[in-house]
Amino acid sequence: MKIRLAHLSDIHFGGENKAAVAAAGERIRAGSFDLTIVSGDLTRYAETPEFEAAAAWLRDLPQPQLVTPGNHDAPYLAWAERIFAPFRRFERHVGPAPAQNWRRDGIAVHGVNTARGAQPRINWSKGQISLRQAERVVEWFEPSDRLRIVVVHHPLIEMLGGPMTARVWGGEKAAKAFARARVDLVLSGHIHAPFTWPYPHADGRTYAVGAGTLSVRERGVPPSYNEVEVEDGCIRVTALAWTGSHYEPYRTWALDRRPA
């Protein structure tokens, strides 16, 4: 098995780094990726022109694609819409918000929405995943799926030393469920910094992988996105950083896969 994935997040159209976004598109079009994944926050404030720009950019990228919403993809200023129909604009311009999935040749990828338009806490931008959401993901996987990937916006367990927090309600339980289900990767964004680390559950071979941002909202890390290559015994994650003129490797991780 060999698969190549492009993993982007937090592009924030309306506040994107235009040169970095354009160059990422060029690399992806030339890269022969099996799947392009965007783990949320396509927009800055979920304004219609931002979604139109995001949709146009996605149309220029190769298929297949899997795109999950983030907290910035719920309207920031339209309070009533954010509370009662938070992802209507996302679904109009991009695709289904609750869940998306892709399966091919034993490779299975499932996206689940961890963003909410409103929550019973002041900071509604933080993440939330219900036990039922996690159970639906686990139930979707099939015994023949040799590579299992979950895509969320918020890291389910906090990145140690990260530039910001996700504070995902239900995140720990979901992480345990995914580890028990032998998920290989849980891809996320939100904190604007790339990282990898194993979940401390089950066999320790379920890995959280975070992508950086392609926006001007840098948090001590240059604009970046991830390229992921999976072979039988190894998962290689390369965070590519934008230098202002080109992309170059910023960090590279080699992660051991569990035995088949």
Pairing of strands 107-112, 3-8: unpaired
Q: Which residues pair with 224 in a beta bridge?
A: 241
Q: Kindly indicate the confidence band of residue 260, based on its pLDDT and cuts at 50, 70 and 90.
A: confident
Pairing of strands 185-188, 207-210: parallel
Exposed / middle / buried, residue 81 (Cβ in 10 Å: 0-12, 13-18, 19+): middle
Domain extent for 54: 3-256
SS (H, E, C) 175-187: HHHHHHCCCCEEE
Residue 165 reports pLDDT greater than 90: no
Residue 210 token pair: 């975070």
Domain total of the chain: 1
Q: Which residues pair with 209 in a beta bridge?
A: 187, 196
Residue 182 reports pLDDT greater than 90: yes
What pLDDT is attached to residue 83? 93
**Percent of the chain predicted with pLDDT > 90:** 92
Segment 41-85, tens digit of pLDDT: 999 999 999 999 999 999 999 999 999 999 999 999 898 999 999
Q: Kindly indicate the confidence band of residue 259, based on its pLDDT and cuts at 50, 70 and 90.
A: confident
What pLDDT is attached to residue 77? 87
Task: Indicate which CATH number applies to the domain containing 115.
Answer: 3.60.21.10
What pLDDT is attached to residue 219? 86
What pLDDT is attached to residue 169? 97
Closest CA to 69 of 84, 51, 56: 51
Average of per-residue pLDDT across 88-102: 97
Segment 16-41, tens digit of pLDDT: 999 999 999 999 999 999 999 999 99
CA distance 108 to 101: 8
What pLDDT is attached to residue 195? 96
Core vs surface per residue 99-120: b (16+ CB within 10 A) or e? ebebeeeebbbbbbbbbbbeee
Q: Kindly indicate the confidence band of residue 1, based on its pLDDT and cuts at 50, 70 and 90.
A: confident
Average pLDDT, the chain: 96
What pLDDT is attached to residue 150? 98
Query: How close are the terminal C-alpha atoms of the chain, in Å?
Result: 11
Q: Kindly indicate the confidence band of residue 164, based on its pLDDT and cuts at 50, 70 and 90.
A: confident
Residue with tokens 């680390």: 197
What pLDDT is attached to residue 246? 97
CB neighbourhood size of 51 (10 A): 20
What pLDDT is attached to residue 161? 75
Residue 233 reports pLDDT greater than 80: yes
